[in-house]
Structure 1
Amino acid sequence: MSAIPPRDLLDTVVVAADRRARVIVAIAGPPGAGKSTLSSSLAQQLTTAGHSAAVVPMDGFHLDNDTLDRLGMRDRKGAPETFNADGFIALVEQLRINAGDVAVPEFDRASDSVRTKGGVVSKDCRFVLVEGNYLLLDDEPWSRLRPLFDLTVFLTAPMTDLRERLIARWLEHGYDRRTAEEKAGGNDIPNAQLVLSGSRTADVIVQSAGAAVHSP
């Protein structure tokens, strides 16, 4: 395991690629750490450096709201059990085989729903950046993902920082401070704590902006 600042991640990923035709990089971490921003930035850097790269978010495998309502889990949306984990694992396995173009669903935050025709990872894409909270979770079925990755990255931040960021998300949706704290405390913050305490150690740990580096 090594700890590096975000700006050095590009070199680490390229070196890890070696002679592989397809490189699958896991970018894991708690909600609020900035995984989507880091993944997009890294993909852009890889593209600028002349490599082909794509980002595959785990969020495309949220269970739909009707299903969550039927299961009584709507208020837990974002927790491990509210994802189609088996479907997500099957997608990563397909990307690992690299047999052809692979369709990837995407989560539309505006409509709070999944778009099944979100994007495509080309068969010629060399670097696939898989991003999500539970990629390194040491529980079934998520633990089946670990052998599928060539490199694992964990983006971390102190719980105090994550708490404020997660509350801020609800404030941005128009909720007052008290309601935002209740919503974050009832779901988002427990999810973040689970990721920090229950994830396997990554190959590389990256500090989130303004955060100290530590092992998950």
Structure 2
Amino acid sequence: MTDIEKKEQYSPYVSLNRDEWKALNGVLNFSLSNEDIGKLHALNEPLNLEEIQEVYFPLSHLLNIHIDYANKLYEAENKYLNSGRKRSPFIIGIAGSVAAGKSTTARVLQKVLSLLPNKPNVALVTTDGFLYPNRILEERGIMNRKGFPESYNTKRLINFLADVKAGKEDLTVPIYSHLEYDITQGEVQEISNPDIVLVEGINVLQVNLSEKHIGPQVFVSDFFDYSIYVHANEKNLLEWYVSRFRQLQRTAFQSPNSYFHRYASLSEKETLALANNIWDLINKPNLIKNILPTRFRANLILEKGSHHFVKGVKLRKV
């Protein structure tokens, strides 16, 4: 047995390159138009049909296996308890760094999972909606720590997930405006009778243990039936973040309604300096301290290469 084979044998994950991964899907194949693909990717995150077919079709096949067995377990347990309780939605957590492409992964999964044979109702929730409003962040002096664990109303997020698992039929989630950089007052996302709920955010796999906490503690990830981490090395993440920031400076920041409108007239040099500064002061420390350490809590890791496309997959052994 080679050293690589020994390492693989005693790793909690099975590592697959892209060719090995794409060959695993022998069941599911969907029809997607260019218009569909155009609606799925985020700013500065390339996406094409090949990526969907080779990465997300096999992933939807795997998730369908887990969902199917979860349904069978539900039926067996219901029979054991002699209960007529309603089946809970299957919850999938999607984590990863700023600029890693979590939002694209979440939207693509929402689309392909909704095309499964039983046509499930797939809801997508982002944890941005559970950020505290800017006024509260400012009151607490943590406006420059937006995205860090303390900037989220975790209790509200956990209560929402508890309602999902309890089978509550009609749910609402706060809406976050990236243009205004704040929670949109008076607007909510309505979710009704979901079969699958995707929860996407940088913080969803964090446990945030505090020395001050006494007694039992519930974490967001406790409610997940499956979890995915979108991974890329820091060099690529910084490059993608700066590139996106530059594009936003030329587009969204130009709107007078944008929170970042004050940066609209910056020179190219000033824009690059600002983007790198934000990364170094906020995003990098959050990545290193809070986000990256959660990577190996995921059931599956999508490993991205330098061009934003997935180059390999790590799958936790069952």
Give the TM-score of the pair, scaled to structure 2.
0.62
Deviates more, 1:72-81 or 1:167-176: 167-176
Give the drift of 1:6: 3.8
Corresponding residue SS for 1:178:
helix
Give the aligned CA root-mean-square deviation in angstroms: 2.2
Q: Assess, with a 3 A threshold, how the Cα gap between structure 1 residues 213 and 80 changes in structure 2: closer, same or farther.
A: farther
Distance 1:187 1:169 in 2: 16
Residue 11 (1) aligns with residue 61 (2):
yes
Residue 205 (1) aligns with residue 301 (2):
yes
Deviation per residue, 1:136-162 (Å, 9 max, x gap): 113238961222111111111111111
* 2:167 paired residue number: 98
Distance 1:30 1:184 in 2: 11
Q: Assess, with a 3 A threshold, how the Cα gap between structure 1 residues 167 and 107 changes in structure 2: closer, same or farther.
A: same
Corresponding residue SS for 1:147:
helix
Residue 43 (1) aligns with residue 93 (2):
no
Residue 23 (1) aligns with residue 23 (2):
no
Residue 34 (1) aligns with residue 101 (2):
yes
Deviation per residue, 1:22-74 (Å, 9 max, x gap): 10111111111111111111111122232210101111011111111111111
Output the amino acid matched with 1:44.
K
Deviates more, 1:111-120 or 1:128-137: 111-120
Distance 1:76 1:40 in 2: 26
Of residues 158, 176, 184, the one that matches 2:279 is: 184
Unaligned 5+ residue runs, structure 1? none
Give the TM-score of the pair, scaled to structure 1.
0.89
Output the amino acid matched with 2:132.
L
Corresponding residue SS for 1:94:
helix
Deviates more, 1:194-203 or 1:52-61: 194-203
Of residues 147, 167, 189, the one that matches 1:119 is: 189
Deviation per residue, 1:56-104 (Å, 9 max, x gap): 1111011111111111111221111111111111111111111221111
Distance 2:65 2:183 in 1: 34
Output the amino acid matched with 1:201.
R
Deviation per residue, 1:168-196 (Å, 9 max, x gap): 33323435111111111110122222311
How many pairs does the alignment contain? Answer: 214
CA contact (8 A) 1:31 1:191 kept: no
* 1:169 paired residue number: 244
